[in-house]
Amino acid sequence: MRAALRRSRRLARWQQVLLTLLGLAGATAGGFAALTLYSQMQSNSTRAIQRWFSDPSSRPSLTTVQRTPCPGAPFLLPSSGLIGLLWRDTAFPYNALRRHTGIDIFGDGEPGTVPVYAAYHGWLTRLPAWKASVIIRHDDPLQPGRTIWTYYTHMASRDGSTSYVADAFPPGTREVWVAQGTLLGYQGEYSGKALAPVGMHVHVSIVTSEPDGSFRNEARLRNTLDPSPYFGMPLNIASKPARPIGCQASGAAVY
Ligand SMILES: [Zn+2]
Q: Measured in angstroms, how far is the CA atom of residue 16 from the centroid of ligand 1? A: 45
CA distance 134 to 138: 13
193-238 pLDDT, tens digit each: 655 657 999 999 999 999 999 999 999 999 999 999 999 999 999 9
pLDDT for the residue 168: 98
CA distance 39 to 95: 5
Higher pLDDT, 250 or 5: 5
Q: Measured in angstroms, how far is the CA atom of residue 64 from the centroid of ligand 1? A: 17
Element containing residue 176 per DSSP (H, E): strand 176-178
- Which residues have beta carbons under 5 A from ligand 1 (an ion)? 104, 203
Is it the case that residue 16 has pLDDT exceeding 60? yes
Q: Measured in angstroms, how far is the CA atom of residue 201 from the centroid of ligand 1? A: 8
Tell me 25's DSSP state.
Answer: H
Query: What domains does the chain contain, in order, with CATH numbers?
Result: 42-239 (2.70.70.10)
Helices H / strands E in the chain, number of each: 4, 9
CA distance 192 to 111: 16
46-81 pLDDT, tens digit each: 999 999 999 999 999 999 998 899 999 999 999 999
Q: What percent of the chain has pLDDT over 90?
A: 76
CA distance 218 to 205: 8
CA distance 118 to 76: 8
pLDDT for the residue 180: 98
Q: Measured in angstroms, how far is the CA atom of residue 145 from the centroid of ligand 1? A: 28
Q: What percent of the chain has pLDDT over 70?
A: 95
Element containing residue 182 per DSSP (H, E): none
Are residues 152 and 185 in contact, defined by beta-carbon separation less than 8 angstroms?
Answer: yes
